[in-house]
């Protein structure tokens, strides 16, 4: 089973205590696709400019990633972001941002992308997420992401989308902002009460919270030895999660707990190097090693 994924593709300049990476491959769609394609084929739907390096396209083609939905605009420039992290990577400051071709991005899905049963809606305007959903023929399982900007600026549109989503991803700060509560567990339950089948609240090194109508479960994170760059960790988590689900011969709900462990394992590898460098060389064997270490922690997670 294949996945259709929509989001941003960027050229990032990242500075952390581990060093600086100039104009490296980034964006939510990139991190998700590199992670998910380790498990299942991915149909990418995004936009880049004429300046987008051919080497990056070659990296995508090394994986089971379909590029029919990737638009390259002649004369345009690719979305660019620059950011600097604090020494412990707990705080991020955006130092430059140029949306470029992404500013007018309106996703148009090619026929093959419309037919896929799994859909990832990356961190884009909820109106565009709805636009993508309306193009899908029979989406069986939809995972959606968001950020604080859309919660603050497009709250009503975001809430209207939730009943169409099976898994809604957000971090702990975003969950509290959306639910307007200081309690993260209550925030997760609030999201489920507003129509989504499942909310997964990412809590960084503390793991994640899985909320369904049946209750709330705390899930572990893999403790990395040295955090180099947290950029893309959430999208890598989503790629590992949905990629694993798409590769199974079972109903998605039956594999959700295990899928979260795979998402956590992929994200843990991602943050150990600047940009997507670790994801480019990641293997299933490396992922399985960390999943095996996470499984015994599930029942002991407070």
Which pLDDT does position 298 carry in this prediction?
A: 85
Which pLDDT does position 249 carry in this prediction?
A: 85
Asked if pLDDT for residue 265 goes beyond 50, the answer is yes
Asked if pLDDT for residue 1 goes beyond 80, the answer is yes
- Work out the average pLDDT over 116-139: 97
Q: Which two tokens stand for residue 54?
A: 């051919």
Instruction: Return the closest-CA partner of residue 60 out of 44, 84, 49.
Output: 44
CA pair distance 294, 225, nearest whole angstrom: 15
- Work out the average pLDDT over 82-98: 95
Instruction: Return the closest-CA partner of residue 217 out of 301, 161, 276.
Output: 301
**Mean pLDDT score of the chain:** 95
CA pair distance 239, 196, nearest whole angstrom: 19
Which pLDDT does position 253 carry in this prediction?
A: 85
The percent of the chain in helix, strand and coil, each rounded to the nearest 5, is 40, 25, 30
Query: pLDDT class for 302, splitting at 50, 70, 90?
Result: very low
Task: Please return the burial class of 276, using the count of CB atoms within 10 Å of its CB with bins 0-12, 13-18 and 19+.
Answer: buried
Q: HSE of 48 in the Cβ direction (CA atoms, 13 Å)?
A: 22
Domain 3-295 architecture = 3-Layer(aba) Sandwich (3.40)
pLDDT digit string, tens, across residues 4-58: 999 999 999 999 999 999 999 999 999 999 999 999 999 999 999 999 999 999 9
Which pLDDT does position 69 carry in this prediction?
A: 98
Percent of the chain, pLDDT > 90?
94
pLDDT digit string, tens, across residues 239-250: 999 999 999 989
Which pLDDT does position 266 carry in this prediction?
A: 98
CA pair distance 43, 46, nearest whole angstrom: 10
What is the reported pTM? 0.96
Asked if pLDDT for residue 301 goes beyond 60, the answer is no
Asked if pLDDT for residue 300 goes beyond 50, the answer is no
pLDDT digit string, tens, across residues 206-219: 999 999 999 999 99
Which pLDDT does position 287 carry in this prediction?
A: 98
Which pLDDT does position 233 carry in this prediction?
A: 96
pLDDT digit string, tens, across residues 52-77: 999 999 999 999 999 999 999 999 99
pLDDT digit string, tens, across residues 172-204: 999 999 999 999 999 999 999 999 999 999 998
In the DSSP assignment, the letter for residue 182 is S
In b/e form, how buried is each residue of 238-247, taking b as 16+ CB within 10 angstroms? bbbbbbbbbb
DSSP E strands in the chain: the ranges are 3-6, 10-16, 19-26, 42-49, 65-73, 79-85, 92-98, 118-121, 141-145, 167-171, 198-202, 208-212, 215-219
């Amino acid at each position: 089973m294949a996945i259709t994924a929509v989001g941003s593709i960027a050229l990032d300049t990242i500075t952390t205590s581990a060093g600086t990476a100039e104009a490296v491959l980034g964006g939510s769609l990139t991190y998700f696709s590199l992670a998910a394609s380790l498990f299942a084929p991915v149909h990418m739907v995004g936009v880049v400019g004429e300046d987008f390096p051919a080497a990056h396209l070659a990296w995508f083609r090394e994986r089971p990633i379909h590029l029919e939905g990737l638009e390259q605009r002649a004369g345009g420039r690719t979305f660019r972001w620059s950011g600097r992290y604090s020494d412990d990577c707990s705080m991020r400051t955006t130092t430059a941002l140029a949306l470029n071709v992404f500013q007018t991005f309106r996703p148009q899905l090619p026929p093959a992308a419309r037919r896929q049963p799994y859909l990832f809606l990356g961190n884009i305007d909820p109106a565009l997420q709805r636009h993508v959903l309306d193009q899908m023929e029979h989406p069986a399982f939809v995972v959606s992401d968001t950020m604080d900007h859309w919660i603050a600026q497009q709250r009503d549109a975001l809430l209207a989308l939730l009943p169409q989503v099976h898994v809604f991803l957000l971090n702990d700060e975003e969950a509290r902002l959306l639910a307007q509560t200081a309690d993260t567990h209550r925030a997760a339950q609030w999201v489920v009460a507003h129509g989504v089948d499942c909310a997964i609240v990412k809590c960084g090194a503390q793991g994640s919270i899985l909320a369904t109508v049946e209750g709330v479960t705390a899930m572990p994170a893999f403790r990395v030895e040295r955090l180099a760059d947290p950029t893309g960790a959430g999208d890598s988590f989503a790629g590992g999660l949905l990629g694993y689900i798409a590769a199974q011969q079972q109903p998605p709900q039956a594999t959700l707990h295990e899928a979260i462990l795979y998402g956590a394992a992929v994200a843990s590898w991602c943050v150990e190097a600047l940009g997507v460098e670790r994801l480019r060389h990641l293997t299933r064997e490396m992922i399985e090693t960390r999943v095996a270490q996470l499984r015994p922690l599930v029942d002991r997670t407070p």
